[in-house]
Amino acid sequence: MEKSQTTEKRQNMEKSLKDRVYEQIRLAKQAARSLALLSRPEKDRALHAVGERLLADEAAILTANGRDVARAEADGQPAAYLDRLRLTPERLRDLVEGLRQLVELNDPVGEVTARWTRPNGLVIEQVRVPLGVIGMVYEARPNVTVDAAAIALKTGNAIVLRGSRSARESNLALTHSIRAALADAGLPAEAVQYLPYAEHESVDLLCTANGLIDVVIPRGGASLISRVLRTSTVPVLETGVGNCHIYIDQSAEYAMAEAITLNAKTSRPAVCNAAETLLLHRGWPERHRRDLLARLLAAGIELRACEETRRLHPELADRLVPAAPEDWDAEYLGLILAVRTVDSLDDALDHIARHGTGHSEAIVTQDAARAERFLAAVDAAAVYHNASTRFTDGGEFGFGAEIGISTQKLHARGPMGLPALTSSKYVVRGTGQIR
């Protein structure tokens, strides 16, 4: 009897979580209808109002954030984690500056991307429209809350946010300010929803709200992304892992090869466009290969090398860790680099086809024909000739705003700018045509 009461109570609580989450999602969906019809000036005015309001609410936001940081500190989180969590007056001003840049960007909504007339006289237009309601599941950094809400607003979408528990108070304070600004600007505050629930079920509910949520975007570590992919019945925009390769071809220029490899590995090792594996063509002069290995070690990089690479440098062999099979698939996100000597361009292409994650892949070569073969044959979101993989980034591509870097092939691939948050519809004008 007691047990069944507990079960019933739990079911009621679950039902209640579902009800609460769905209520927020439905409010967002309702708001999306009017958001889709807003003009660019209306949306830009609202973005401006959001920026003003965030600055006005600075004290409340920083106080809420301080509580999050204190709790994370007490939980023994490492310094890097605390740093990502922390908001400062400067960071808040940067966020507001980001909003100002967003205002300057072209509004993709309403753009007629194609227009044609059929023999029967029907005039067909393909028009960009908002996606509708975006679900966003993310970790740690509270600035994502503002970025995501602002980009959604600029593209006429409503958004349901679900950040990590550790940033809960910061996120609630930020969304409170955003919603207040929307209401002041005469827009529906319901367009921005924050799910404050610690339960993982709130993520699952968001990811299975077909017909209400049009796309879920997970941003965070591999386990977050794989959980969303596994449970989601709503379409997912996957921003995935990057096991990126730098392939040094036989004719590569030494200085360029060194600069690109160092940049791709060390400029920011924790990001997805950093290189994880270096492939060295056997035909690249031995002294170059030896020099490059020595230079990488000198830069503090741990090298995990294949047997042939280790034999190349007997005097450094004890500093060249033997690579295990799993090294070819690892995304280290730190100062570790796998190194393999390959027999040929084809060998490099095979290695990348087998181990790459389709993110960013680069060839360094002076041979234009071989470069073109690499660019054509490698199946990745971005392929580079004589440039660092680190350029796979919305800002570096000139998009002005970035939602993430898609590693899937549907809808959007690579750095996603504003158009990635739009869909299209066919508008057909007739004079009574029937079929």
Give the residue with the Cβ less far from its own copies, 64 or 236: 236
SS (H, E, C) 322-354: ECCHHHHHCCCCCCEEEEEEECCHHHHHHHHHH
Taking the CB of residue 110, how many other CB atoms lie within 10 A of it? 15
Is residue 177 within 8 Å of residue 144, measured between CB atoms? no
Which residues in this chain contact its own copies in the complex, by CB under 8 A? 33, 36-37, 116, 118, 122, 124, 129, 131-132, 210, 214-215, 229-230, 233, 235-237, 253, 255-256, 259-260, 262-264, 267, 353, 371, 375-377, 379-388, 390-392, 396-398, 408-411, 413-415, 423-435
Least distance to its own copies, CB of residue 154, Å: 17
Cβ distance to its own copies smaller for residue 79 or 434: 434
Q: How far is the CB of 236 from its own copies (least distance, A)?
A: 7
Closer CB to its own copies, residue 142 or residue 242?
242
What pairing do the DSSP bridges indicate for beta strands 320-322 and 302-305?
parallel
Contact 206, 162 (CB under 8 A): yes
Q: Tell the smallest beta-carbon distance from residue 408 to its own copies (Å).
A: 6
CB of 122 to its own copies, least distance (A): 6
**Shortest distance, CB of residue 215 to its own copies, whole angstroms?**
6
| Residue pair 256/430 in contact by the 8 Å Cβ criterion | no
Closer to its own copies by Cβ: residue 237 or 293: 237
Q: How far apart are the first and last CA of the chain?
A: 65
Query: Considering the complex, what minimum distance in angstroms separates the CB of residue 100 from its own copies?
Result: 20
Can you read off the two tokens belonging to residue 86?
Answer: 């922390």
- The helix (run of H) or strand (run of E) holding residue 7 is helix 2-35
| Cα angle 104, 108, 113; round to 5 | 140
Say if residues 108 and 418 touch (Cβ distance below 8 Å). yes
Are the CB atoms for 187 and 150 separated by under 8 Å? no
Select 3 or 435, whichever has its Cβ closest to its own copies. 435
Q: Which residue's CB is nearer to its own copies, number 65 or number 232?
A: 232
* Residue 214 CA: distances (Å) to CA of 45, 76, 164, 432: 26, 38, 21, 33
To the nearest whole angstrom, how small is the minimum distance from the Cβ of residue 372 to its own copies?
A: 9
Q: Least distance in Å: CB of 193 to its own copies? A: 18
**Shortest spacing between CB 397 and its own copies, in angstroms:** 6
What's the half-sphere exposure (Cβ side, CA atoms, 13 Å) at 428? 9
Q: Which is nearer to its own copies, 51 or 132 (CB)?
A: 132
CA distances from 183 to 178, 193, 291 (A): 9, 13, 61
Question: CB 66 → its own copies: shortest distance, Å?
Answer: 33
* CB contact at 8 A, 32 and 160: no
Chain centroid to CA 55: 26
Three-class SS state of 114:
strand
CB of 276 to its own copies, least distance (A): 17
Nearer to its own copies, 16 or 210 (CB): 210
Tell me which residue of 127, 140, 193, 189 sits closest to 166, measured CA to CA: 140
In 3D, which of 261, 248, 269 has the Cα closest to residue 367? 248
Rounded Cα distance, 429 and 432, in Å: 9
Residues contacting residue 346 through CB under 8 Å, at least 6 positions apart: none
